[in-house]
Amino acid sequence: MTVDAEPLDRLRQRTSEKWRAYPSDVLPLFVAEMDYPLAEPIAAALHAAIDRSDTGYVGPERGMETAFTEHARDAWGWEVDQARVRTSTDIGVVVVEALRRLIAPGDRVVITPPVYPPFFSYVPEAGGVVAEVPLVDDGTTWSLDLPGLERAFAEGARALLLCNPHNPLGLVHPREDLVAVAELADRYGVRVVSDEVHASLTHRDATFTPFLSVSDAARRVGIAAHSASKAWNLAGLKCAFFVTAGDEMAALVRELPIEIEERTSLLGRIASEAAYREGMPWLDGALDAIEGNRRLLADLLAEHVPEARYREPRASYLAWVDLSALGWGDDPAQRILTEMKVALGNGPAFGRPGIGYARINLACSPEVLTEAVTRIGQMRD
């Protein structure tokens, strides 16, 4: 099916962060929200819940867990035991609550910048200390720094917070790298929390590999964080979940206070089940639009901002663009906002490797993307 972004006048009626953080003369391409209409099966499920006044606390119904396990099997060939899926409110809560039980206060937790900015705050919230092992950039692609990870593990880091696929790069980690990470973690007694919220947004020219699927070592050391929130634009409905595969990690998640699960939104569970059961035609259409925009961005930058360096992502709808050659400072997004009324993701927020970069949201109409890049190009005049 075809999925098109809604017109700007309708989008500006939304009250979410993307459409209320800035005045109406700003084109917002910063936060990870989509401009597409809600998938009809999800909207229908939510309307039905409202019609029956089904807005209470979460109950024992396991439809969402079953729907996710079927999606994992069909999409990634990953067999998940639904008894080892446990919900909470959002990915951040899943990550923080997992880390709290995997580390002692003051333990070092590795992150791999440039990376999703909340990673820098999740770790101290869980009682840990951030240890950075930046990704390796060989000029063609990025990759995990496996020797750097081993050094950090050998020096006493107790956990790794993995971004898989990796935001902001749209990097889909190869299976062999994930196998190597699991082997290193197992060898050094390190635990891995794998944030896989962008998994369902992997593009057709890449293959997503769930961390817990790669080896027995990964299943021993890992907890995965999943949600339908990013792929189907459901962040405000507050439903994410822990997934485990090894006995030790499963026991750890079972021992979490019941309130962590009871804080899940019932409407979030209803929407997530509908997404996984009936939302694939919509997601296929959204990916068509996103992949078209990722190619369009390459053409637009070549025409209007030829100094920019850009590698097309292979997952999600976020583009990572190097604007350092233009001399617009460490945080070019700030200058672009001030001068051209285009809001982008601030590169330095993703760590020191983000200096000179900006993140661009591609889940918009081609017209909005064209207008945004055209405005940015006018700064060169």
Predicted confidence at residue 179, as pLDDT, reads 98
The label of the residue with tokens 């999943």 reads 226
Q: What is the mean pLDDT of the chain?
A: 98
The helix-helix angle for 266-278 and 280-304 (nearest 10°) equals 80
Predicted confidence at residue 280, as pLDDT, reads 98
What CATH number was assigned to the domain covering residues 40-276?
A: 3.40.640.10
For 102-151, what is each residue's pLDDT tens digit? 999 999 999 999 999 999 999 999 999 999 999 999 999 999 999 999 99
For 162-189, what is each residue's pLDDT tens digit? 999 999 999 999 999 999 999 999 999 9
Topology of domain 6-36+278-376, CATH: Aspartate Aminotransferase, domain 1 (3.90.1150)
For 196-210, what is each residue's pLDDT tens digit? 999 999 999 999 999
Whether the predicted model's global pTM rises above the 0.85 cut: yes
Q: What are phi and psi of 109, to 5 degrees?
A: -125, 125
Residue ranges covered by each domain of the chain: 6-36+278-376, 40-276
**Following DSSP, what letter does each residue of 248-296 receive, concatenated?**
HHHHHHHTS-HHHHHTS-HHHHHHHHHHHHH-HHHHHHHHHHHHHHHHH
> For the residues 79-94, what does the mean pLDDT come to?
98
Is pLDDT at 69 greater than 90 in this prediction? Answer: yes
Sheet arrangement for strand 357-361: 27-29, 342-346, 357-361, 318-322, 309-310
Predicted confidence at residue 316, as pLDDT, reads 98
DSSP 8-state symbol, 157: -
Is pLDDT at 381 greater than 90 in this prediction? Answer: no
* CA dihedral angle for residue 216, residue 217, residue 223, residue 224, rounded to 10 degrees: -70
Reading the block at residue 349, the tokens are 């927020």
For 1-57, what is each residue's pLDDT tens digit? 999 999 999 999 999 999 999 999 999 999 999 999 999 999 999 999 999 999 999
